[in-house]
Amino acid sequence: MSALALTIEQEEIVAAVAEFVDRDVIPHASELEHRDEFPTSMVETMIGMGLFGTTIPEEYGGLGLGLDTYALIIVELSRGWTTLPGILNGSFIAAWMIRNHGTDEQKERFLPKLASCEIRASFSMTEPHAGSDVQSIRATAERTADGYAINGQKMWVTNGWRSGIIMLLTKTDPTTDPPHKGMTGFIIEKEPETEPPGLTIPMPGLKKLGYKGVESTELVFDNFQAPAEWILGGEAGIGSGFQYFMSGIEVGRVNVAARGVGVAKAALDDSLRYVQEREAFGKKIGHHQAVQLMLAKMATRAEAARLLTVQAAQRKASGERADLEAGMAKYFATEAAQENALDAMRIHGGYGYSLEYRPERYYRDAPLLMIGEGSNEIQQLIIARRLLEQHRI
Ligand SMILES: Cc1cc2nc3c(=O)[nH]c(=O)nc-3n(C[C@H](O)[C@H](O)[C@H](O)COP(=O)(O)OP(=O)(O)OC[C@H]3O[C@@H](n4cnc5c(N)ncnc54)[C@H](O)[C@@H]3O)c2cc1C
């Protein structure tokens, strides 16, 4: 479908993931999703395929593949169920941040475990009163004789309960102006599925419209003790947390864009099949021009979203500044997912509203993509700011 040329290696991996999705994910995802059940066996297959280590260098036990290949893998997984890349995303962002900003000890300690999925990771920035406005977070990490005492409340932490490390953004100096200069990231270690002293994780987590099967939790820190070695980047990382977390969010954005492509594609695929089965007024509904117009728009959106996403991933992978491209890809691809989900519902008529068909799931999963990893309003601001920067007169 795509005009983009893939390498043989990319083609093989994407084909293997596509086969897994067609065989093991699509037939079962809706059932698990309706039960809000963690997809244990699907995740085990993903671990076996090495997907948790996709972008981690081979020297740390990963596959050492580029961000563009990662994006293509995410497209395939999302075609089956967006929860699967959601489970992968925390580990992917954590690995990216540790690789780019961590100390040598942190790289040695965590990257092999993330690659093998011995531990999974979560990424925690949002608080009950602050999501987009990251600089107004209130969680603090205060220096003590033995390290840091962390206090505050986090919200919407995907994988918060099952993760073995939490990438946590705090304020180590709440008095700085601008506030980002006083922000520091920590790699909080914990046993998965337990609450260490000073940290409460209310389970079963927050109730959601979609994105089920993976927990989204609060984290309540009450005088939680963290050694200084847990600071992302060591002593040099003090005051750099905002910058480190923004770089994590930027690659996460490519993941979310790719999820949008997957949903847009899944909605199109289901519709293409359905219009050739369902009849109305003596012919297959795919022969009604009004339906054809919807199919044409859906396919165009899906393909444009895919091209923007892979372009953004390639640019980011090359080390170039990619906020404009990642912002455009995230914005366009996730809106495409939402529009295609609604069109798939229209095309499926009453069955589109039934839990027996998949469009209802796409319709519930797509809106999160427009909110997470920076809302689409924020993406438009990023795009516009960058354009004005590039075209200064
Ligand atoms: C299921 C789920 C999982 C999540 N997982 C995680 C996670 O793992 N880790 C994590 O840290 N967070 C996570 N989040 C949080 C998510 O990133 C935030 O919800 C998101 O950043 C938006 O923040 P907010 O909800 O506080 O909305 P707000 O920031 O309050 O925004 C509300 C509205 O105002 C708009 N708005 C805000 N500021 C501006 C502006 N300057 N200009 C124009 N419009 C603006 C927004 O676009 C939005 O429409 C998750 C959220 C959900 C729902």
Q: Which single residue is written with the structure tokens 């005088």?
A: 223
H or E segment to which residue 207 belongs: none
Q: Where are the alpha helices (DSSP H) in 102-216?
A: 104-116
In this predicted model, what pLDDT tens digit does every residue of 291-347 receive, in sequence order?
999 999 999 999 999 999 999 999 988 888 899 999 999 999 999 999 999 999 999
Q: Is 66 helix (H, G, I), strand (E, B) or coil?
A: coil
Identical fold, 8-116 and 247-390: no
Q: Which residue type does 129 have?
A: H
The response to whether residue 211 sits with its C-beta less than 6 Å from ligand 1 reads yes
- Angle 241-275/289-317 helices, nearest 10 degrees? 150
CA of 131 to the centre of ligand 1 (A): 4
182, 155, 183, 181: which is closest to 169 by C-alpha? 183
Degrees, nearest 5: CA angle 218-220-223: 160
For the chain, what are the domain ranges?
8-116, 121-242, 247-390
* Mean pLDDT value across the chain: 96
> Which pLDDT does position 3 carry in this prediction?
47
Q: Which fold has domain 247-390?
A: Butyryl-CoA Dehydrogenase, subunit A; domain 3 (1.20.140)
CA of 48 to the centre of ligand 1 (A): 33
For residues 161 and 185, is the Cβ–Cβ distance under 8 A? Answer: no
Say what the pTM is: 0.96
- Residue 11: CB atoms within 10 A of its CB come to 13
Between the alpha carbon of residue 320 and those of residues 66, 242, 288, 309, 311, the distances in Å are: 14, 20, 46, 15, 12
Q: Residue 393: is it exposed, middle or buried by C-beta count within 10 angstroms (0-12/13-18/19+)? A: exposed
Set 215, 373, 377, 389: catalytic member = 373
H or E segment to which residue 377 belongs: helix 376-390
Q: Which portions of the chain are predicted below pLDDT 50?
A: 1-3
> Which pLDDT does position 4 carry in this prediction?
63
Q: Which single residue is written with the structure tokens 């009453």?
A: 350
CATH code that applies to domain 8-116: 1.10.540.10
The response to whether residue 375 sits with its C-beta less than 6 Å from ligand 1 reads yes
Q: Which single residue is written with the structure tokens 């820190």?
A: 221
Q: State yes or no: is 59 an active-site residue.
A: no
One CATH from 3.40.50.1470, 2.40.30.10, 3.90.1150.10, 2.40.110.10 for 121-242: 2.40.110.10
The response to whether residue 208 sits with its C-beta less than 6 Å from ligand 1 reads yes
